Amino acid sequence: MHAMVCERAGRPLVLQTLPRPEPGPGQVQVLVRACGVCRTDLHLVDGELPAAKMPVIPGHEIVGVIAAHGPGIDEPAIGARVGVPWLGYTCGHCGYCASGRENLCADARFTGYQQDGGYAEYAIADARYVFPLPDGYDDLHAAPLLCAGLIGYRAYRMAGDARTLGLYGFGAAAHLVAQIALAQGRTVYAFTRPGDRDAQAFAMNVGVHWAGGSDETSPAALDAALIFAPVGPLIPAALAATVRGGTVICAGIHMSDIPAMPYRLLWGERSLRSVANLTRRDGVEFLALAAAIPLTVHVEPYPLSGANEALARLRAGAVAGAAVLTPGL
């Protein structure tokens, strides 16, 4: 099979021809039709994430069909369409796993990070961690649901019943979260890189109430802010824009350092928290919501060999919505 491989952090991915991976006990072999390109992949390739398997095939927003079963399983059926997310394995019995917080399991393994992912024609997944996907989304448009949508949703849920929501960084996740928030009658403000008129126009096109640079004053105080951009200085900016008792939620896996800030930004019972990974329950909940709303997913398709170009455009903030590789389309 063909795969785009991260051989070493800091280097472009390399197109390789590799043996087709065979499923072990409890695993399925997935014929990859589409795989989203997530900012986490960029952090991986840039060497900003510790403990990555190297070399590794990135990609954790995989849409494909079951091509083969490993020993001991017969579900999902051969030919069934599935999504393979970031969460690839958990221990199942630690305190976190036993309390509905498998996203925090210390023995968790993640797709396209500690096990090979979907920048390839085939991928292997543990059958217990794949999701059926809503019929209303074709393969290309279903891919971004699997991380941008899913982890975006987990972050959004932590905003509770916030009526006025600020989204910092308007890419793949924010453009989906914005649609959920708008469908639920909330007011949504989008904060982009200063002066990024294209991203602001994209946000307005999605339907947000206001879009501007992160250096601009919010039109109204925020009940909650979700930070999707990996930029530490956005934390004091978002806290300053948030009401007393409000929450600032950091949704990314990596961020530049948070600058020193006066305590008064946090005071007034504001909360600052992060979101890590996903649980399978998040996936089931979010995909049902995505089927019901439904969401308009904006994608930029790339052939498998275009992965480096897709990552470069993501790094430059030039992707409107989500970049998706299409090994099998």
Q: Work out how close the CB of 279 gets to Zn ion at its nearest, in angstroms, rounded to a whole number.
A: 11
Q: Which is nearer to Zn ion, 101 or 209 (CB)?
A: 101
Q: Work out how close the CB of 107 gets to Zn ion at its nearest, in angstroms, rounded to a whole number.
A: 5
Question: Quick one: how far is CA 78 from the chain centroid?
Answer: 27
Q: Which is nearer to Zn ion, 111 or 218 (CB)?
A: 111
Cα–Cα nearest to 225, from 205, 206, 250: 250
Alpha helices in the chain (DSSP H): 39-45, 95-98, 139-142, 148-157, 172-183, 197-206, 234-240, 280-292, 307-315
Instruction: Provide the token pair at 5.
Output: 């491989």
Q: Work out how close the CB of 163 gets to Zn ion at its nearest, in angstroms, rounded to a whole number.
A: 28
Q: Which residues pair with 210 in a beta bridge?
A: 189
Please report the sign of the dihedral spanned by the C-alpha atoms of residue 47, residue 49, residue 53, residue 58.
Answer: negative
Q: Work out how close the CB of 36 gets to Zn ion at its nearest, in angstroms, rounded to a whole number.
A: 8
Q: Which is nearer to Zn ion, 104 or 204 (CB)?
A: 104
Instruction: Provide the token pair at 84.
Output: 């393979």
Q: Work out how close the CB of 38 gets to Zn ion at its nearest, in angstroms, rounded to a whole number.
A: 3
Q: Which is nearer to Zn ion, 211 or 255 (CB)?
A: 255
Strands of the sheet containing 210-213, edge to edge, are 210-213, 187-192, 164-168, 222-227, 242-250, 271-274
Q: Which is nearer to Zn ion, 90 or 214 (CB)?
A: 90
Q: Work out how close the CB of 273 gets to Zn ion at its nearest, in angstroms, rounded to a whole number.
A: 18
What does residue 198 show for φ and ψ, rounded to 5 degrees?
-65, -45
Q: Work out how close the CB of 212 gets to Zn ion at its nearest, in angstroms, rounded to a whole number.
A: 26
- Identify the burial level of 213 via C-beta atoms within 10 angstroms of its C-beta, where 0-12 means exposed, 13-18 middle and 19 or more buried: middle
Q: Any idea what the Cα angle at residue 324 is, between residues 74 and 106, rounded to 5°?
A: 60
Instruction: Provide the token pair at 295.
Output: 């969401």
- Identify the burial level of 95 via C-beta atoms within 10 angstroms of its C-beta, where 0-12 means exposed, 13-18 middle and 19 or more buried: exposed
Contact in structure between 124 and 115 (CB atoms under 8 Å): yes
Q: Work out how close the CB of 233 gets to Zn ion at its nearest, in angstroms, rounded to a whole number.
A: 22
Query: Which residues sit at the interface with Zn ion, rule CB under 5 A?
Result: 38, 40, 90-91, 94, 97, 105, 147
Q: Which residues pair with 96 in a beta bridge?
A: none
